[in-house]
Amino acid sequence: MSLRLEKLKTFHGRKGPLLLIIMDGVGIGKESDNNAVYLAKKPVLDKLMSSELKTKLKAHGPAVGMPSEDDMGNSEVGHNALGAGRVFAQGAALVNIAIESGSLFKSKTWKTVLGIGKSGKTVHLIGLLSDGNVHSNIKHLFAMIQNCADEGVEHVRLHILLDGRDVGEKSALNYVYPTEELLRKISEEKGYDYKIASGGGRMNVTMDRYNADWSIVKRGWDAHVLGIGRKFASATEAVTTFYNEDPKMTDQYMDSFVIVNNDKEPIGKIVDGDAVIFYNFRGDRAIEISRAFEEKNLEMFDRQRVPDVFFCGMMEYDGDLHIPKNYLVTPPEIDCTVSEYLCSEKVPSFAISETQKFGHVTYFWNGNRSGYIDESLETYIEIPSDKITFDKAPKMKAYEITEEAIKLLKTGKYKFGRLNFANGDMVGHTGDMQAAITAIETVDECVGKLLEVIKELDGIALVTADHGNADEMFTVKGGVKSPKTSHTLNPVPFIIYDPSYKGEYKMAEVKNAGLSNVASTILNLLGYKKVDDYDESLVNAE
């Protein structure tokens, strides 16, 4: 498909490159003692925020395709919006529609699952047990469980991943209790066999991403499939035992566990002929476990036994590699991304981040598309992330990303570049205030170094974020302080750093401006008109 851009008549961009800097997880929150962004010493960002070329962007709710204003944004939908230039229904919204309309339960994939279940085999559901609405929603799980019961599936097993990240850090029992009660009620009323079979914390079991640490997937495989893990009589017993043994234990880092019967035998091993649903709708932490079930010659870890099952995901997590082969809800078709337009115009670009966010500046930015759009014009660089908890290394790989970006900028080859500093998000998720402050100060220092190079090259830098996180590190309720490890509903900054600026354009007054307005702004500042179906630009340059 040929995508053409028209040149602006009045502004042709700068001689140097345009660099988009995404400070992941850096929102604009209240100036209070729970805000690591506010508390951090950040002279560069403070100076940028005093510029006339700045605004705030919405990064949550309908502004990024989520169902309501109560739904926080995330890095995936955020980068989708940044790269796509308009908003697409995302994740939870798509699944909500599929469940409410009944289309999920009419799909060929779901009917296959039911057929297996009604034949006497077990239907297994694996996923994040919370209502965080970032990776999953317990309402979706309950709807599928109820449909299985209504359709006559007698054997269901749940393999639950505890959150503590998008919800309260020790809130697992708020979800385990009602889940156990629903399973008990169905089992008693219908004479069925519905139980929780295994589980563990999301950052320690099953939900790895970007090939960062496959041992996480192995622990999940061992528990869910092989029945290997610490043994308990129930999920409630597992969670309360871990809490009692280590008062500092939080849900996301909990060890794997397996539920056993009176003979100490696992009650929910996955075996030949079963059906397995991974019910998370977000793709990044679903791809590796999907590969473990689907790839015959996976070499990432020893699976010991690979059951012949029907596996499906809530969604297709990778549209190019078709992972998984079967899925329940069709993802949004995001076409005509800003990088597709730039490649069509032969504009050379680069994308760089560390492992934790590399997929965001490539796959998600490109509309859920793997690989290059045009390898002759694009350079993608991934800096391997540390394999330790990020509160222990809050500087992460910000310096390395900065060094590589500066090298690329100084080649003079690239007209556009984008990078992501993961610190504010990944360290913010740990709930460690001092670590988060260090993370923000590190990013601020690195942004400063990049701006020096942009000035030297007579370029422009755009500084923004994909959602908030470190801007709200704890909450206080009833006088009790609780760490907040989830994303926030706060807006994010958008700043144009243009050392050669002489009033050639002005900030536009865009109502309810959000991340999707950035793509048109990129085009304008490169000297092109905005695309007709893109959301408004944040500048008046046409």
398-445 tens-digit pLDDT:
999 999 999 999 999 999 999 999 999 999 999 999 999 999 999 999
Across 344-358, average pLDDT: 97
Domains identified in the chain, total number: 2
Across 515-524, average pLDDT: 98
Across 267-283, average pLDDT: 96
Output the CA–CA distances (angstroms, integers) from residue 346 to 273, 412, 499, 533, in the order listed: 51, 15, 26, 21
Distance CA 23, CA 463 (A): 7
Q: Which of 307, 356, 364 is nearest to 122 (CA)?
A: 307
Q: Is residue 5 within 8 Å of residue 13, measured between CB atoms?
A: no
Largest CA distance in the chain: 79
Q: What is the pLDDT of residue 319?
A: 66
Here the CATH number for the domain that contains residue 426 is 3.40.720.10
**Kind of pairing between the strands at 310-315 and 327-329:** parallel
484 against 155, higher pLDDT: 155
Q: What is the pLDDT of residue 89?
A: 87
310 lies in the same domain as 256: yes
346 lies in the same domain as 310: no
Here the CATH number for the domain that contains residue 257 is 3.40.1450.10
H or E segment and range at residue 68: none
Across 157-171, average pLDDT: 96
497-506 tens-digit pLDDT:
999 999 999 9
Residue 189: which residues within 8 A CB-CB, separation 6 or more? none
459-469 tens-digit pLDDT:
999 999 999 99
189 lies in the same domain as 290: yes
Specify if 282 maps to a domain.
yes
Q: Is the pLDDT of residue 143 over 60?
A: yes
Q: What is the pLDDT of residue 432?
A: 95
Q: Is the pLDDT of residue 1 over 70?
A: no
Specify if 149 maps to a domain.
yes
Q: What is the pLDDT of residue 284?
A: 84
75 lies in the same domain as 217: no
Specify if 426 maps to a domain.
yes
Residue 132: which residues within 8 A CB-CB, separation 6 or more? 163, 165, 166, 167, 486
Q: Is the pLDDT of residue 122 over 70?
A: yes
145 lies in the same domain as 61: no
215-267 tens-digit pLDDT:
999 999 999 999 999 999 999 999 999 999 999 999 999 999 999 999 999 99
37 lies in the same domain as 111: no
33-52 burial code (b ≥16 CB/10 A, e <16): ebbbbbbbebebbeebeeee
Cis omega (within 30 of 0) for bond into 324: yes
289 lies in the same domain as 412: no
Catalytic residues: 75
Q: What is the pLDDT of residue 320?
A: 59
- Taking all residues of the chain, what is their mean pLDDT, rounded to a whole number? 95
Q: Is the pLDDT of residue 332 over 80?
A: no
Domain interval for residue 223: 92-329
103-115 tens-digit pLDDT:
999 999 999 999 9
Proportion of the chain above pLDDT 90, given as a percent: 89
pTM assigned to the model: 0.78
Of the candidates 329, 354, 373, which is a domain's last residue?
A: 329
Specify if 205 maps to a domain.
yes
The conformation of residue 224, written as its DSSP 8-state character, comes to: I
Query: Residue with structure tokens 């239907």?
Result: 123
Which of the residue ranges 27-41, 306-320, 397-411 would you say has the lowest mean pLDDT?
A: 306-320
Distance CA 323, CA 389 (A): 28
372 against 317, higher pLDDT: 372
Across 361-370, average pLDDT: 93
Kindly report the length of the chain. 542
Of the candidates 308, 329, 350, which is a domain's last residue?
A: 329
252 lies in the same domain as 355: no
Across 12-40, average pLDDT: 97
Write out the two tokens for 519: 């793509």
Q: Is residue 447 within 8 Å of residue 37, measured between CB atoms?
A: no
CA angle 177, 148, 303 (to 5 degrees): 80
Specify if 54 maps to a domain.
yes
Specify if 74 maps to a domain.
yes
Q: Is the pLDDT of residue 188 over 90?
A: yes
Specify if 1 maps to a domain.
no
57 lies in the same domain as 104: no
Distance CA 380, CA 369 (A): 14
Rg of the chain taking only CA atoms, in angstroms: 24
H or E segment and range at residue 158: strand 155-162
234 lies in the same domain as 379: no
Q: Is the pLDDT of residue 170 over 70?
A: yes
414 lies in the same domain as 357: yes
Output the CA–CA distances (angstroms, integers) from residue 153 to 117, 279, 443, 457, in the order listed: 5, 17, 52, 65
Q: What is the pLDDT of residue 477?
A: 82
369 lies in the same domain as 483: yes
525-535 tens-digit pLDDT:
999 999 999 99
Q: What is the pLDDT of residue 437?
A: 98
Q: What is the pLDDT of residue 228?
A: 98
Q: What is the pLDDT of residue 113?
A: 98
Of the candidates 300, 329, 358, which is a domain's last residue?
A: 329
Specify if 11 maps to a domain.
no
